[in-house]
Amino acid sequence: MDINIITIIIIGANALASFKGFNDYAFFEKYKFSIGAITRGEKIRMITSGFLHVNPQHLFFNMFSLYFFAPVVVAELGNAKFIIIYLGSLLIGNILSYYFHKNEYHYTAVGASGAVMGIIYSAILLQPGMSLYLFFIPIPIPSYIFGVGYLLYSIYGMKAKADNIGHDAHFGGAIGGYVFTLLFATYLFKTNVTMILVLAIPIVLLFVLKRLGKI
């Protein structure tokens, strides 16, 4: 699979910042996502936290996912729009996370998952006919089923609050990828309205549940 220089730079930036954080506690603490710090005015953490990871396995999983899906977005939309989707999804993921946890002063998080989920959702919109092979499922899964299923699982995770996964950041990233892609590829409204509606289902469901106080 071809990988372009922009994707390599993003992966490199994540690796450099993450390994610095693995070995430098003060650096990690200074730039991680923290409700308390952001509330005090340290808004830069909304971006910097997306380049830090908990451990090498966390870093590898996110960068491997980016490596797989990035070429689809780059090929369809070009480097500049790919960067906007990546950084925009990262930011929207953290904004949604802040919205859901704003009263939890000690809540913290790190990881590129929101940005990567934005790229994944973008790729699914652009190439809904893709099939994915997941590690634990030996048959190909249509990409749109994966996308909808993953967001439904994220809603469950946000309701259950039974793990330390930033489900809200993942969800916000997917929203970013969805919105930016539709802004950049308006032709999709003519060629793939059904898929646009299908992928919108979990997004609408999240905000309905939030309004009803279920999350």
Q: Which residue has the higher pLDDT, 207 or 196?
A: 196
Q: Which two tokens stand for residue 163?
A: 């793990």
Indicate the average pLDDT of the chain. Answer: 90
Residue of 20, 59, 13, 50 lying closest to 32 (CA atoms): 50
Q: How confident is the model at residue 164 (pLDDT cuts 50, 70, 90)?
A: low
Give residue-wise pLDDT tens across range 189-202: 999 999 999 999 99
Quick: pLDDT tens for 171-190. 999 999 999 999 999 999 99
Lowest mean pLDDT among 63-67, 81-85, 135-139, 209-213: 135-139
| Distance between CA atoms of residues 61 and 78, nearest Å | 24
pLDDT of residue 44: 97
Residue 176: predicted pLDDT: 97
pLDDT beyond 80 at 133: no
Q: Quote the tokens at residue 32.
A: 């991680």
pLDDT, mean of residues 34-57: 96
pLDDT band at 115 (very low <50, low <70, confident <90, very high): very high
Tell me: pLDDT of 215 over 90.
no
CA angle 204, 92, 78 (to 5 degrees): 100
d(CA 34, CA 25): 15
Domain ranges (residues) in the chain: 5-211
The answer on pLDDT for 36 being more than 80 is: yes
Say how far apart CA 83 and CA 125 lie, in whole Å. 17
Is 210's pLDDT higher than 90?
no
Q: What is the pLDDT of residue 72?
A: 94
Q: Which residue has the higher pLDDT, 47 or 146?
A: 47
Query: Is 5-211 a domain of CATH 1.20.1540.10?
Result: yes
